[in-house]
Amino acid sequence: MTVPLQHDDLVLEPTSGADGLDGWSVVVDGERRGTIALRDDSGRTFSVRWNTGTGPEAFGLAVRALRLVVEHAFTDLGAVRVEARIPVERTDDVRAASVSGLRREGIVRGAGTLPDRALLARLVDDPPASSRDGFIALLNAGLPTKRVIAQGLLRDERGRVLLCRLTYKSEWDLPGGVIEVGEAPGLGLVRELQEELGVTLPLGDLVTVNWLPAWRGWDDACIFLFDLGTVDSSWSDDLTLQPTEIAGVEWCDEATWREKATAAAVELLADVTAGTVSTYREAPLAPE
């Protein structure tokens, strides 16, 4: 049976309580201001939805009602998880869910005409939203992340640049790769060189940070380009290549890298060659 819930002047009055669905009217000072419902999805996981209108008090009402209902689910119904799936364009509702203590987890894509939905959830053992740990977790979950790539600039005695022939695209690229979550760019480049070329090279100075705009379905990214120094061209003869990603390596003069390399690498190497590369740069959008 659905029970009434209350905090100060906010009262949630039961409207339904059957078939795993508990519903309430959101009432303030005897006036009905909206609705909120809690559905039992699996016995331990519940989902919540609400409507408190669009007025100036709608956001605050949603936050307060959500806190009451989520606490009720954990304390009285034995829930271990309460989640909300909110159309991404309803930004106020997404923010209300976050402020109430639900942590953003990702986007549930919608097929056809169905909207994409933001997925937020709170677990029974999450730290309180009002605590330092809880606040940091909520804020961190909603912040954007940036894809980071680390690459190395390695030259031979003739000034040629080492490029990798890749198995998954036709253009050649500088050695390196995508940095793992929580991994430092420099350490990530060392790891990539070990995995893909079978070598360990000391990192030199950072040449530049190169921002890449979103392109062909990829989100934007930042490339950290490190100087790997100069080696004899015979150095590349004894590499142990990762066959799933690296088809081969080539020492490339300017004419070759301009013909074979990715658009981003060509544009970057042109600046390096001209001596005009800056500590931070923004790559132009490559043609589709």
Share of the chain above pLDDT 70, in %: 99
Q: Is 191 exposed, middle or buried (0-12, 13-18, 19+ CB in 10 A)?
A: middle
Among residues 125, 142, 159, the one where a domain terminates is: 142
Q: Is the pLDDT of residue 144 over 90?
A: no
- The whole-number pLDDT of residue 288 equals 63
Shared domain check, 188 and 115:
no
The 10s digit of each residue's pLDDT in 102-142 is: 999 999 999 999 999 999 999 999 999 889 999 999 999 98
For residues 128 and 11, membership in a common domain is answered with: yes
Average pLDDT over the chain reads 94
Higher pLDDT, 216 or 245: 245
Which residues span the domain enclosing 155?
A: 147-282
* Of the residues 118, 142, 166, the one at which a domain ends: 142
Same domain, 253 and 177: yes
Do 54 and 158 belong to one domain? Answer: no
In this structure, the answer to whether residues 186 and 132 fall within a common structural domain is no
CATH of the domain at 219: 3.90.79.10
Regarding whether 155 and 43 lie in a shared domain, the answer is no
What's the pLDDT tens digit per position in 191-237?
999 999 999 999 999 999 999 998 878 889 999 999 999 999 999 99
Q: Is residue 287 part of a domain?
A: no
Q: What is the pTM of this model?
A: 0.79
Look-up of token digits 């959830």: 121
Total number of domains in the chain:
2
Helix 58-76 / helix 91-100 crossing angle, nearest 10 deg: 50
User: Of 81, 108, 142, which residue is a domain's last?
Assistant: 142
Instruction: Looking at the structure, tell me whether residues 111 and 239 fall in a common domain.
Output: no
In a domain, 288, yes or no: no
